[in-house]
């Protein structure tokens, strides 16, 4: 229970299931909330360092609201931290997710009207109607329409993480980023895995402990394998090529694996530390 990112406890409050495991002034059952911004920062502390982002429509467990901040746990990956209360709304059960890099919710007047909300890849939406071209959606802030082709049903995953990663080529590198506005190495892997209905934690060290199956050193590389370095992760496109969001160049790109391995080690970040295989 020592990892604050995975422990819903801050001294004042803790999750009810942690009674006897952590110290807290109060043990509580969380209330649900839903992100209603394009992306809401998850911080280590109020006004503190940014750890990750939660996306529009992500469901959060809220354990405490205090001075404009909410102490939360993301339901999609268990990540704990602080989000601004202003980014949260009342929850609605999502039915669909955005499958394009970016989309928009438009007013019922149509696409020539200014969009109401900008949506990242993976945003969760509640579809309530529409037709073959447009999906009618609702959220706690209102309602509108989204291009039907920009959405997928939650029970219709995108089964090839490497293909999904191609959507993000050229996306700027952004520490703790999870969207096409900016993404980091673990954010890219998580986005691609969650779209494939593969459980995936938020940070690379967490992914290196939990994602897929560990393979021995020297094992053949296959599409959708995951390679780890200290503080970095990349998704294998084919035995010669990987896709990753990298601070080297501050972008998301394809890179020759052998060259990348040599470059990363020569730069002081060491060799590949782990090779894992996803179940896809």
CATH of the domain at 125: 2.30.30.40
* Whether 169 and 147 share a structural domain: no
* Whether 174 and 219 share a structural domain: yes
Residues 168, 182: Cα–Cα separation, whole Å: 9
* Whether 190 and 142 share a structural domain: no
pTM: 0.96
Domain boundary (89, 121, 139) is at 89
Are the beta carbons of 53 and 178 closer than 8 angstroms? yes
- In this prediction, residues 218-246 reach a mean pLDDT of 97
* Whether 85 and 123 share a structural domain: no
* Whether 189 and 218 share a structural domain: yes
Are the beta carbons of 74 and 60 closer than 8 angstroms? yes
- In this prediction, residues 1-12 reach a mean pLDDT of 92
User: pLDDT at position 280, please?
Assistant: 62
- Give the residue from 69, 87, 67, 71 showing the smallest Cα distance to 79: 71
* Whether 52 and 85 share a structural domain: yes
* Strand duo 26-28 + 13-15: pairing: parallel
Does 66 score more than 90 pLDDT?
Answer: yes
Tokens, residue 148: 């039907």
Digit-coded pLDDT (tens) for 44-57:
999 999 999 999 99
* Whether 169 and 251 share a structural domain: yes
Does 40 score more than 80 pLDDT?
Answer: yes
CATH number for 235: 3.90.1720.10
Domain boundary (41, 64, 89) is at 89
Digit-coded pLDDT (tens) for 96-111:
999 999 999 999 988 9
Report which secondary-structure segment, H or E, holds 185.
helix 185-195
Domain boundary (56, 89, 122) is at 89
* Whether 251 and 168 share a structural domain: yes
Number of folded domains that form the chain: 3
* Whether 53 and 123 share a structural domain: no
User: pLDDT at position 151, please?
Assistant: 98
* Whether 186 and 222 share a structural domain: yes
- In this prediction, residues 197-222 reach a mean pLDDT of 96
- In this prediction, residues 169-192 reach a mean pLDDT of 98
The domain of 134 spans 96-153
* Whether 112 and 75 share a structural domain: no
Does 177 score more than 70 pLDDT?
Answer: yes
Residues 183, 11: Cα–Cα separation, whole Å: 31
- Give the residue from 164, 197, 177, 194 showing the smallest Cα distance to 245: 177
Does 279 score more than 80 pLDDT?
Answer: no
Residues 184, 233: Cα–Cα separation, whole Å: 9
User: pLDDT at position 1, please?
Assistant: 60
Tokens, residue 68: 């404009």
Residues 31, 243: Cα–Cα separation, whole Å: 38
- Give the residue from 76, 180, 170, 173 showing the smallest Cα distance to 120: 180
* Share above pLDDT 70 across residues of the chain, in percent, rounded to a whole number: 99
Digit-coded pLDDT (tens) for 116-159:
999 999 999 999 999 999 999 999 999 999 999 999 999 999 99
Residues 70, 55: Cα–Cα separation, whole Å: 16
Cβ atoms within 10 Å of 143's Cβ, excluding its own: 15
Is residue 234 helix, strand or coil? strand
* Share above pLDDT 90 across residues of the chain, in percent, rounded to a whole number: 96
* Whether 21 and 109 share a structural domain: no
Q: pLDDT class for 253, splitting at 50, 70, 90? A: very high
């Amino acid at each position: 229970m020592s990892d604050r990112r995975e422990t819903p406890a801050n001294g004042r409050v803790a999750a009810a299931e942690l009674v006897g495991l952590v110290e807290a002034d109060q043990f509580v059952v969380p209330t649900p909330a839903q992100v209603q911004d394009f992306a809401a920062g998850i911080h280590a502390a109020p006004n503190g360092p940014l750890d990750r982002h939660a996306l529009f429509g992500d469901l959060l467990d809220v354990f405490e609201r205090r001075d404009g901040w909410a102490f939360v746990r993301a339901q999609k990956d268990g990540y704990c931290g602080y989000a601004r209360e202003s980014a949260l709304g009342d929850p609605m059960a999502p039915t669909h997710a955005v499958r394009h890099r970016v989309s928009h919710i438009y007013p019922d007047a149509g696409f020539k009207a200014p969009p109401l909300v900008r949506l990242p890849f993976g945003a969760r939406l509640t579809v309530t109607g529409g037709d073959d071209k447009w999906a009618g959606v609702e959220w706690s802030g209102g309602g509108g329409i989204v291009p039907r082709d920009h959405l997928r049903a939650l029970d219709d995953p995108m089964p090839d993480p490497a293909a999904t990663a191609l959507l993000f080529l050229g996306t700027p590198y952004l520490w703790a980023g999870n969207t096409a506005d900016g993404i980091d190495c673990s954010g890219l892997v998580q986005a691609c895995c969650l779209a494939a209905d593969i459980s995936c934690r938020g940070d690379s060290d967490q992914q290196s402990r939990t994602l897929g199956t560990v393979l021995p050193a020297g094992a053949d590389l296959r599409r959708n394998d995951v390679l780890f370095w200290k503080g970095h992760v990349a998704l294998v496109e084919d035995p010669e090529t990987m896709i990753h969001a990298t601070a080297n160049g501050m972008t998301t790109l394809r890179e020759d694996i052998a060259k990348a391995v040599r470059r990363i080690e020569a730069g002081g970040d060491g060799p590949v530390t782990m090779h894992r295989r996803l179940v896809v």
